[in-house]
Amino acid sequence: MLTVQESLAIVTREARPLVATSLALSRAAGALLAEPLYMDIDSPPFDRAMVDGFALLSADARAGASLRIVGRQDAGGPLFPGPLLPGQALGINTGAPLPAGADAVVMVEHTRVEGATVMLQRPLAAGQGMQKRGADARAGQRILEAGQTLHAAQMALAAMAGAAQVAVRRARVAILTTGDELVPIAATPGPGQIRNSNGPMMAELVRHTGAEVLDLGVVGDREADLRAMLERGLAEADLLLVSGGMSMGTRDLVPPLLTELGVAIHIAKVRIKPGKPFIFGTRDGASGRKYVAGLPGNPVSAFVTFHRFVRAILGALTGERDVDRSSAGCTTVALEANGDRAFYRPCAVAVDAATARVQLTPLAWKGSADLFTLGQAQGLLIREPGAPAVEAGAVVPVLLL
């Protein structure tokens, strides 16, 4: 049985970056950049007003000075022919380009207007109320790194850089849930049946990484059906994510079927609680290398192994820069000595207002099927194998969710 760190090392060794593809920026939200992005123009591309008011020459900006208003410059409107001369002022709004000669903008609140004259109520220094061309970024400047996720702010930056097409790595993940006992969400479970909670959970976890989801639905514990769906997932996705059927029971059919289908199993069990029966495998073929992650059927086990291992797999495939969300905090209660498996326990995470320290409160542990406790968690408190007992206030590691 492998340790968590040994398993992560195998993932790093075996998972290779996907081939980059070009996507329209409008379709690339959540994807990982495959190469850096650079500005094609200065930003801002001209000296611009940062307030509504009057553009002027700072040499004229004395308290009590009276300046002649010679026109108005609106954002996106016709350009003032300029240049602006001493003793003149130009009405201007936020974002509009400054005319030649102007080097400051006075806020309208600090002026009094009488006809075609504006009187200043306070002095103004050069550069106030305006932003110089290229103050944010220069043409050719790198603004986004390879491996960054295109969230809202990054999408806006890419648009500012004129990147209508972006090179990205986005994994396609097939999700397959197994088990005769599973029924659809809308169904009322009969004797011995439960609703399929793992499917929606895994789909949302995958989407949150920016990957594309291929939902293969639920398949029962029949070899022919299961083999067909496993083969479909391997054929149509970069990563096949399977939950259930991973342990040693008579109906745990997934590992031997994967082997029959040519998957090399690199990880079969991990020294982790919950989540011991985790599988990671690869299959090489004409369409490239495909990956399989087999998660335990119990939902908390599936959740933990996704965050610990599947996120690492997807990070390696896409080149994600910040895949590890490990941190540390102070436990609010004493913790007993841990056993020989790493223990990832759902916990509440809060920041103490007085000390600004991260506080970790373990939640009641009812086992690997306890979704109700998991639903209250903001983190997974980590107890390493053989970790000694600690008192309340001790610093311990945590995986933030």
pLDDT in tens, 109-141: 999 999 999 999 999 999 999 999 999 999 999
- Both 189 and 300 in a single domain? yes
- Both 268 and 332 in a single domain? no
Instruction: CATH number of the domain at 123, please.
Output: 2.170.190.11
Whether the pLDDT of residue 252 is over 80: the answer is no
- Both 253 and 354 in a single domain? no
- Both 287 and 208 in a single domain? yes
What's the pLDDT at 82? 80
Q: What are phi and psi of 279, to 5 degrees?
A: -120, 140
- Both 176 and 296 in a single domain? yes
- Both 208 and 83 in a single domain? no
- Both 268 and 298 in a single domain? yes
- Both 190 and 293 in a single domain? yes
What's the pLDDT at 247? 63
Residues whose CB is less than 8 angstroms from the CB of residue 130 and which lie 6 or more positions away in sequence, other chains included: 47, 48, 49, 50, 55, 98, 102, 103, 104, 105
Domains in the chain, number? 4
Instruction: CATH number of the domain at 222, please.
Output: 3.40.980.10
pLDDT band, very low/low/confident/very high, at 321 (cuts 50, 70, 90): confident
Instruction: CATH number of the domain at 371, please.
Output: 2.40.340.10
Q: Map tokens 């920041």 to a residue.
A: 351
Q: What are phi and psi of 386, to 5 degrees?
A: 75, 10
28 domain residue, yes or no: no
Q: Find the mean pLDDT for residues 359-372.
A: 91
Mean pLDDT of all residues belonging to the chain? 94
What's the pLDDT at 140? 97
Whether the pLDDT of residue 248 is over 80: the answer is no
Say how far apart CA 45 and CA 49 lie, in whole Å.
12
What's the pLDDT at 325? 87
What's the pLDDT at 372? 92
* End residue of a domain, out of 144, 167, 190: 167
- Both 184 and 254 in a single domain? yes
Whether the pLDDT of residue 44 is over 60: the answer is yes
Asked if 89 contacts 70 with a C-beta cutoff of 8 angstroms, the reply is yes
Minimum mean pLDDT range among 193-197, 268-272, 357-361: 193-197
Whether the pLDDT of residue 27 is over 90: the answer is yes
- Both 261 and 388 in a single domain? no
pLDDT single digits (tens) 173-202: 999 999 888 888 889 999 988 899 999 999
- Identify the residue with better confidence: 82 or 62: 62
Look up the domain containing 193 and give its range.
4-18+171-318
**Taking the C-alpha atoms of 57, 63, 69 and 72 in order, what is their torsion angle to the nearest 10 degrees?**
70
- Identify the residue with better confidence: 53 or 365: 53
Whether the pLDDT of residue 355 is over 80: the answer is yes
Whether the pLDDT of residue 338 is over 60: the answer is yes
Q: Find the mean pLDDT for residues 374-393.
A: 96
Q: Find the mean pLDDT for residues 323-341.
A: 94
- Identify the residue with better confidence: 222 or 266: 266
373 domain residue, yes or no: yes
- Both 265 and 381 in a single domain? no
What's the pLDDT at 299? 93
pTM for this prediction? 0.88
- Both 60 and 39 in a single domain? no
